[in-house]
């Protein structure tokens, strides 16, 4: 059976939620009981009783119907890091609450996809970052990267930190999230040449982007058979 895994990124808005939702849909379509988790989410709510848009997307495509307090233990109504949000809103973050929520989800699903917030060094508290959470959850991870100029610096900094922390890295996924920037084949070659790690796929830019079309077309651009999902 496949282990659960963590989806992190080189930055915010590189497509972590899209990738997580697409993989969740693939698992669901293959009769796998998949759970999803977004430990920390931030941003303004559409309505007072609405949930994070990212969490809504994850739950929709996974088909999971777990309690929100497990799927998303912390939601901050300002678009910033958990560390900064906790300071501005005078809240205390309890990492044990996050870990316990994950364990509960893992006990009722075959696989749990955990999506991070921001990049791998996004601060959750003063001396605790997304990378620390990955380590404490004992999960392997995928790194999602964008394609804008500057991405090479971003993925190398992320990769070096993963190496330093001795995290279990499965590999990279590329989202061409801008119309200009790096050409996808070139970027894939750079990632592999500089890190030696597999690039499982690269999703081309779509000026008419919708999450529905992204999820539907995802298997056309990603080597799903070798994502580590084949032994489920």
220's CB contacts (< 8 A; 6+ apart) are none
Polymer length of the chain:
232
Tell me if 52 sits within 8 A of 37, measured CB to CB. no
CA distance 155 to 188: 11
115's CB contacts (< 8 A; 6+ apart) are 6, 7, 16, 17, 20, 36, 37, 38, 54, 58
For residue 118, is pLDDT > 90?
yes
Q: What does the DSSP 8-state code read for residue 23?
A: H
CA distance 116 to 122: 9
CA distance 169 to 120: 12
> What are 179-212's pLDDT values in tens digits?
888 999 999 999 999 999 999 999 999 999 999 9
CATH of span 5-226: 3.40.50.300
- The 3-state secondary structure of 123-142 reads EEECCEEHHHHHHHHCCEEE
Q: Where are the domains of the chain?
A: 5-226
Catalytic residue positions, numbered: 38
> What are 18-73's pLDDT values in tens digits?
999 999 999 999 999 999 999 999 987 655 666 889 999 999 999 999 999 999 99
> What are 119-157's pLDDT values in tens digits?
999 999 999 999 999 999 999 999 999 999 999 999 999
Tell me if 101 sits within 8 A of 136, measured CB to CB. no
């Amino acid at each position: 059976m496949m282990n659960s895994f963590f989806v992190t990124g080189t930055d915010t808005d590189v497509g972590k939620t899209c990738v997580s939702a697409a993989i969740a849909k693939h698992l669901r379509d293959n009769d796998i009981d998949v759970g999803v988790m977004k430990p920390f989410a931030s941003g303004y709510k559409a309505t007072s009783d609405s949930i994070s848009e990212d969490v809504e997307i994850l739950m929709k495509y996974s088909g999971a119907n777990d309690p929100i307090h497990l799927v998303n233990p912390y939601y901050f109504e300002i678009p910033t890091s958990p560390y900064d949000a906790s300071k501005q809103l005078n809240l205390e973050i309890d990492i044990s609450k996050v870990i316990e929520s994950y364990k509960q989800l893992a006990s009722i699903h075959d696989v749990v996809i955990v999506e991070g917030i921001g990049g791998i060094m996004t601060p959750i508290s003063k001396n605790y970052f997304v990378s620390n959470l990955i380590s404490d959850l004992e999960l392997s991870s995928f790194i999602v990267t964008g394609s804008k100029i500057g991405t090479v610096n971003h993925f190398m900094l992320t990769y070096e930190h993963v190496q330093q922390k001795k995290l279990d890295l499965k590999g990279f996924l590329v989202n061409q999230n801008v119309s200009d920037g790096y050409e996808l084949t070139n970027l894939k070659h750079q990632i592999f040449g500089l890190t030696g790690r597999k690039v499982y796929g690269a999703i081309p830019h779509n000026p008419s982007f919708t999450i529905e079309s992204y999820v539907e077309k995802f298997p056309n651009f990603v080597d799903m058979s070798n994502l580590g999902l084949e032994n489920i």
